[in-house]
């Protein structure tokens, strides 16, 4: 029998499964194998074995990076013996996918369009890399490129402007490093103090990973270990050495089982395993980083957070457990500021997994692990609320979810939050005076160690427009690699050249 007054269409999370295959363990598992096993574990977790898996109306997959199957859910369905009426897949790129899929499927369950829904995802970059090194081809299933899911969820426009690409901002390791510099500028910190700040944040994340049985790197790291460069922690793009960045070379999978309260009750899922979505929201930032008013802030996270908390009917101070998407330290700091959270509260660490460096960064699928881990925590603390965030591209696409073992007081109604429109002009090709608001020095592996290869500067001209410059001359690189150039006045003479006029503006 359902609890008195509960709508039988109430969506509920009843099973969560995770798997990690570490180096040295036998086999080279692919994404299909890991995703299917994560769902089998979710079935076992629910107490129903494969009953709910085989009865699923819909299976949704998070798009894989390791091997871009056009319909991963169809392959997983065959592996677990399911015959869903529909398969869904997220857009090829976006860590916001797990929350978007959960919001959509929960809404469809509430509306009577589905009774049992599965979400799964996995990455096998570590096995793929190991196979290449060994010169062998992993025995993974193939799929015809003309196969397609019933629906693709999410936006997948190109992430960068021509000016951004020309400046070398073509990947997360460079874009987020630039954002981190902007965050330091925003906080008014010198480089040493800021490095200690982000090293401390990541050290606290490693402590959480040490307690996570599914973490990729389950060991505690000191601040000194994280910020000191060396053979095992090379500088990638200042201020980030390798251990302050997401680790994508993992073999990990996670799966979730969602169903209506009526279906959960009929299947005999014990009531103390039920976790309810209370609030869910998604939002999209001004798409291109260079066009944002402040590249160290996110109005979209703030809007999604407000909407999700309002949907749940709780405030941020009532949230006991938190998992912020943590590909790079700046992403955590931006989200914490947007949600009104301190980054160093020992009572509320900002991760439940250890984050994408230590917990592991399985492509688009990290937040499925975050939700799965949160479900276990909330079962052990049934009076608490938990909040998870999901993020795609460059702090661009967002999802926020609020969960609890307590039944919701109001129907679950996920929303796309409205974000105030705010854009900064850009001035590609501009020459003249400007002020540095952020910069990063990318490094490459060299025969004699890490070598600085350029300096990428984000500068504002007197009209407030943003210009990106990538300089590769040794004199400018040395000046920016050895001194603090935030706030420095410069003269931009070309798209690849500028001269310093002073340390900082008045």
* Cβ 82 vs Cβ 118: under 8 Å: yes
pLDDT digits (tens, 9 = 90+) for 87-130: 999 999 999 999 999 999 999 999 999 999 999 999 999 999 99
Q: Which CATH number fits domain 11-158+248-416: 2.160.10.10, 3.30.70.580, 3.40.47.10, 3.40.50.300?
A: 3.40.47.10
Q: Domain locations in the chain?
A: 11-158+248-416, 432-500
Reported as a single tens digit per residue, the pLDDT across 324-355 is 999 999 999 999 999 999 999 999 999 999 99
Q: Are 68 and 41 in contact (CB under 8 A)?
A: no
pLDDT at residue 505 greater than cutoff 60: no
Q: Is the pLDDT of residue 490 over 60?
A: yes
Cis peptide before 239 (omega within 30 of 0): yes
Distance CA 53, CA 84 (A): 9
The CA distance from 309 to 286, in Å, is 22
The pLDDT of residue 506 is: 44
pLDDT digits (tens, 9 = 90+) for 415-460: 999 998 889 999 999 999 999 999 999 999 864 557 899 999 999 9
Give residue-wise pLDDT tens across range 54-100.
Answer: 999 999 999 999 999 999 999 999 999 999 999 999 999 999 999 99
**pLDDT tens-digit series, residues 230-286:** 999 999 999 999 999 999 999 999 999 999 999 999 999 999 999 999 999 999 999
What CA–CA distance (Å, rounded) separates 229 from 242?
8
Among 229-238, 328-337, 403-412, 495-504, which is the least confidently predicted range?
495-504
DSSP string computed for 302-365: HHHHHHHHHHHT--GGG--EEE---SSHHHHHHHHHHHT--S--TTS-S-SS-HHHHT---GGG
Total-model pTM: 0.97
pLDDT digits over 277-322, tens only?
A: 999 999 999 999 999 999 999 999 999 999 999 999 999 999 999 9
Task: Return mean pLDDT, the chain.
Answer: 96
Strands (E), 371-448: 385-392, 397-404, 415-416, 432-440, 443-446
Query: What would the two tokens of residue 339 be?
Result: 């949600």
Dist. CA 56–CA 70, nearest whole Å: 20
**What's the average model confidence in pLDDT over 479-498?**
95
Spatial separation of the C-alpha atoms in residues 93 and 102, rounded to whole Å: 17
pLDDT of residue 147: 96
- pLDDT number for residue 4: 79
Which CATH number does 432-500 carry? 2.40.50.840
Q: Do domains 11-158+248-416 and 432-500 have the same CATH topology?
A: no
């Amino acid at each position: 029998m359902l609890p008195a007054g509960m709508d039988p269409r109430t969506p509920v999370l009843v099973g969560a499964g995770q798997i990690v295959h570490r180096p040295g363990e036998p086999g080279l598992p692919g994404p299909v194998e890991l995703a299917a096993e994560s769902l089998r574990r979710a079935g076992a977790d629910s107490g129903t074995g494969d009953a709910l898996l085989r009865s699923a109306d819909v299976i949704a997959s998070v798009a894989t990076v390791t091997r871009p199957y056009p319909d991963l859910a169809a392959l997983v369905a065959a592996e677990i013996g399911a015959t869903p009426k529909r398969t869904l897949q997220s857009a090829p790129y976006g860590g916001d996918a797990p929350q978007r899929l959960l919001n959509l499927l929960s809404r469809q369950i509430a509306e009577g369009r589905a009774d049992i829904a599965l979400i799964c995802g996995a990455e096998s970059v570590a096995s793929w890399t190991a196979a290449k090194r060994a010169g062998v081809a992993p025995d993974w299933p193939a799929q015809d490129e003309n196969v397609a899911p019933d629906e693709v969820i999410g936006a997948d426009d190109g992430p960068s402007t021509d000016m951004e690409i020309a400046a070398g901002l073509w990947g997360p390791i460079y874009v987020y490093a630039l954002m981190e510099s902007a965050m330091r500028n925003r906080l008014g910190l010198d480089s040493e103090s800021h490095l200690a700040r982000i090293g401390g944040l990541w050290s606290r994340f490693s402590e959480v990973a040490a307690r996570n049985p599914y973490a990729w790197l389950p060991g505690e790291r000191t601040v000194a270990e994280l910020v000191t460069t060396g053979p095992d922690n090379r500088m990638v793009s200042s201020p980030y050495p390798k251990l302050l960045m997401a680790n994508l070379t993992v073999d990990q999978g996670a799966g979730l089982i969602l169903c209506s309260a009526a279906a959960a009750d009929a299947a005999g899922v014990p009531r103390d395993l039920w976790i309810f979505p209370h609030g869910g929201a998604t939002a999209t930032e001004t798409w291109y980083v260079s066009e944002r008013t402040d590249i160290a802030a996110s109005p979209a996270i703030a809007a999604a957070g407000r909407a999700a908390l309002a949907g749940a009917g709780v405030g941020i101070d009532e949230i006991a457990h938190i998992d912020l998407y943590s590909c790079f330290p700046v992403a955590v700091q931006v989200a914490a500021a947007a949600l009104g959270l301190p980054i160093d509260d020992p009572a509320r660490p900002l991760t439940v997994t250890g984050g994408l460096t230590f917990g592991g960064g399985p492509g688009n699928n990290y937040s499925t692990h975050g939700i799965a881990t949160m479900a276990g925590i909330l079962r052990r603390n049934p009076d608490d609320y938990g909040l998870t965030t999901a993020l795609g591209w460059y702090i661009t696409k967002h999802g926020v979810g609020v969960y609890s073992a307590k039944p919701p007081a109001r129907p679950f109604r996920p929303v796309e939050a409205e974000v105030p429109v705010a854009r900064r002009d850009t001035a590609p090709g501009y020459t003249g005076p400007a002020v540095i608001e952020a910069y990063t020095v990318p490094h490459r592996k060299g025969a004699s160690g890490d070598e600085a290869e350029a300096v990428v500067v984000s500068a504002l001209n007197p009209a407030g427009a943003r210009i990106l410059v990538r300089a590769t001359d040794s004199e400018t690189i040395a000046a920016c690699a050895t001194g603090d150039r935030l706030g420095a006045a410069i003269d931009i003479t070309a798209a690849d050249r500028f001269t310093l006029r002073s340390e900082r503006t008045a």
